[in-house]
Amino acid sequence: MGDNEENKGTTDYACAGERHYEDGSHLHGLGRLLNADHLFGLAVECLMKALLQRFAGPHGVSMRNSGGSESDRLWWDDPHAENQNKKRKALGHINQMRQALPFLADGRSGPALTQVLTRVSADFEKWLVDDRYTDGTHLDPALLTRRQEAAVLAHDLHLHVELTGKLP
């Protein structure tokens, strides 16, 4: 199949996050820690984006890009952007999202959302999606364990939100 729009599925961060979490857990159980770490990073990223879509404050978190068109990525309005044309920004990978969290999590659910997202993402500050291309010798086993624990926390949080409709 090509990259044609007809064959493209709809972006669903919650579903993707669950899938990455389950696959990462499976690989972790098999001792495939580096690949599990990669999937745990993607899981936390997707589950965080799902939470931001649902609970983020008034900073325009949506699937609308800087041109106002529907996109397959999550975008937000940076209140500190000096140039109005560059105010709308895509939320990137988890290490990039951490920079946007303080601006996104305000309003009624802001404090709880900030606390949860900061806690879950803390060990992913230096996580890079490009680590999938490395030999992995630079990764610390203790860090991989903390990232796995963060993925479990993000997964459990997601399940809680799905069941109750609110943050703990």
* Structure tokens that stand for 126 in this block: 């230096």
Say how far residue 106 (Cα) sits from the centre of its chain: 18
Into how many domains does the chain fold? 1
In a domain, 41, yes or no: yes
In a domain, 98, yes or no: no
Helix axes 110-121, 33-55, angle to 10 degrees: 170
At 74-118, the pLDDT tens digits run 888 877 777 766 778 888 887 667 666 666 666 566 666 677 777
pLDDT at 43 over 60: yes
Question: At 109, which CATH number?
Answer: 1.20.120
At 136-145, the pLDDT tens digits run 787 788 888 8
Domain of residue 110: give its range: 12-60+105-164
The residue type at 7: N
In a domain, 45, yes or no: yes
In a domain, 6, yes or no: no
* Structure tokens that stand for 44 in this block: 């936390």
In a domain, 93, yes or no: no
Given CA atoms 89, 90, 95, 97 in this order, what sign does their dihedral have?
Answer: positive
In a domain, 74, yes or no: no
In a domain, 5, yes or no: no
pLDDT given at position 6:
55
DSSP at 137:
T
CA distance 59 to 79: 7
Does the model's pTM come out above 0.85?
no
